[in-house]
Amino acid sequence: ISNNRIFYSNTGLSGMYLTKLSPNSLYHSIYYNSHTIYLCWHYLTDAVREGKNQYEKAFGISSQVLFEALYRSEEEMIKFMYLMNSIWNICGKDVVTVFDLSCFTSIYDLGGCTGAIAKQCISAYPETRVTIYDLPKVVQKAKEHFVSSEYQRISFHEGDFFQDFIPEADLYILARIIHDWPEEKNLQLLRKVYEACKPGGGILLIEALLNEDQSGPITSQLYSLNMLVQAEGKERTPSEYSKLLEEAGFREVQVRRTGKIYDAILARK
């Protein structure tokens, strides 16, 4: 208080996480949760009873094709992309460095969205090149808003990785992809990745892991409920992810906790 006037300022934490211009801002994450995800949570009881997401009740649109519902407008798609970008600005470095990935020089980031994970990879591993594989409309917006020409070791591949060809690479990153889908669809995708993978190559899953007895962490449990109301999948335990990878053909499955929200699972062909 000075001369009967009151001045306000952000604390260090709010300045870091709540202001739009901070590189670690969670503004877009909070905005998306408030304006989109929370509307689905209004129908949590129905989701539990029906065992399916609630896009039809929340927004009046069919969710038979999940990402057509998520990307129901250009505005909604860009909001989702900013959400994903803000998450990996906070956790991305940890999940790509918890294992030493320097031996994998050719990486495909399936569903790589804004390129936040790809940027962390090329920063941590100077010899690595990363290709972001995503839907054509996502790739277009990623180029416009998130990945400038200065990122010369990042390229793009347009397509639907469930339907279209997956090129050969040393490593495939699937960050928050497997938790979107049920087991049958995940096995379809993982087997396709296994066939594309170079001998000796690998796959890195990045997910919010549940404890083996599913007693926590609370954030992963809440994310699992969110998968119920918003998607088709769930969060899983390390052994559940390991089983999926092994059924797809992968071996030498290793799990590493980062101490943050997201953890990593690496497996080899």
Find out whether 267 and 241 touch, Cβ atoms under 8 Å.
no
Find out whether 111 and 161 touch, Cβ atoms under 8 Å.
yes
Q: Which of 28, 35, 42, 179 is catalytic?
A: 179
Tally Cβ neighbours within 10 Å of residue 46. 17
Active site residue 179: yes
**What φ, ψ does residue 113 adopt, rounded to 5°?**
55, -110
User: Measured between alpha carbons, how far is 135 from 223 in angstroms, rounded to an integer?
Assistant: 24
Find out whether 63 and 53 touch, Cβ atoms under 8 Å.
yes
Tally Cβ neighbours within 10 Å of residue 182. 11
DSSP H or E run through 230: helix 218-230
> DSSP alpha helices (H): ranges in 74-217?
74-97, 116-124, 136-145, 183-196
**Residue that the structure tokens 């999926």 belong to:** 244
Positions annotated as catalytic residues are 179
